[in-house]
Amino acid sequence: MKPNSIQRIQVIDSHTAGEPTRTIVGGAFEPGGETMAEKRAAFAGEYDWLRSATVCEPRGHDAMVGALLCEPYSPDCVSGVIFFNNVGVLNGCLHGTMGVAVTLLHQGRIGPGKHRLDTPSGLVTFDVSASGTVEVTNVRSYRHQHDVPVEVPGVGVVKGDIAWGGNWFFLADAPPEIPVSLSCLDELTDYSWRLRNALEEAGITGANGGEIDHIELFAPPADPQLADSKNFVLCPGKAYDRSPCGTGTSAKLACLSEGGLLNEGQIWRQAGILDSVFEGRVKKHTDGGAIPTVTGSAFVTAEAILIIDPTTPFAFGITSSNTEL
Ligand code: PYC
């Protein structure tokens, strides 16, 4: 339920390879439930106002990812975390994990070194350095289906892989006529959004009906000396990831590994749309798939108190429920 008194929310902002994370570090918001999946569901039900107030305009923007620190379910974790964006909650988020890591370091809650974080998609380990380099060992990632055809209205048949990297991804080559470049953001967004809608219309999902809410398109890197591939990732709320997307890089690593194109321990350098790079490698998992390790750098950009006065316009953010958008 929305609060009817003024709320002061303490946040620390960071960016990881260009992609922002706003971490709620104060305000005593503890979603109910025991496991992280239960806490995520409780957050979605009880605290949707907190989500939209912190990451949507006028305080945030569409690309902003939020992170709520909470009690972990696993006692050996430094914190639990629930990630969210402009339209809802996320399963996992690796650029956000890197942002949380430098935030906790900035606060003095942890020192440089290895720590564990409890997330709704599972336990992740991060190793953070004083300079902001963060190596994250992700949850088991795997390719669910290979070379899946989907008929996309206005485009034709597009083939791609469906893979889990902490979120569900459809991974495909970018069409040759649309360069993976900042100058083509509108075209890339339109193409990816059509693809996502076509997957939904066709009832194509991840395992157990998991919604494929991230689209990842690939092209050769701008500079092969610096990266092996360049991607464009469209997130669930139609914002593009400014970073190479950590869960998307994990999904890519799982596909490469399952296709015999990446050996254990071999480094894959994934550039994003800004040509910032995540480095990844995998360790095969006994249950199939792989455990990816993804490394990037994150930087604290602001400390702030957000003031939410329920008597003011758009106090809980500009959303489709309070506009004609
Ligand atoms: O880095 O995993 C990621 C991510 C997910 C959505 C935006 N970034």
Q: Which of 243, 249, 294, 297 to mutate to test the pocket of ligand 1 (most atoms within 8 A of CB)?
A: 243
Distance 271 CA to ligand 1 centre (A): 14
Distance 151 CA to ligand 1 centre (A): 26
- Which tokens sit at 58? 């006028």
Domain boundaries, the chain: 7-139+301-308, 142-288
Q: How confident is the model at residue 293 (pLDDT cuts 50, 70, 90)?
A: very high
Distance 252 CA to ligand 1 centre (A): 13
Instruction: Decide: pTM greater than 0.85.
Output: yes
Mean pLDDT for the chain overall: 96
Position 26 scores a pLDDT of 82
pLDDT in tens, 207-265: 999 999 999 999 999 999 999 999 999 999 999 999 999 999 999 999 999 999 999 99
Position 325 scores a pLDDT of 42
Backbone phi, psi, residue 248, to 5°: -70, -40
Residues enclosing ligand 1, CB less than 6 A? 19, 65, 93-95, 167, 235, 241, 243, 245-247
Q: How confident is the model at residue 1 (pLDDT cuts 50, 70, 90)?
A: confident
Position 320 scores a pLDDT of 80
- Which tokens sit at 2? 């929305």
Domains 7-139+301-308 and 142-288 share a fold: yes
Atom of ligand 1 nearest to the CA of 235: 6
Atom of ligand 1 nearest to the CA of 248: 2
pLDDT in tens, 258-282: 999 999 999 999 999 999 999 999 9
pLDDT in tens, 154-206: 999 999 999 999 999 999 999 999 999 999 999 999 999 999 999 999 999 99
pLDDT in tens, 89-136: 999 999 999 999 999 999 999 999 999 999 999 999 999 999 999 999
What is 142-288's CATH number?
3.10.310.10
Give the CATH fold of the 7-139+301-308 domain.
Answer: Diaminopimelate Epimerase; Chain A, domain 1 (3.10.310)
**Residues paired with residue 220 on neighbouring β-strands, in sequence order:** none
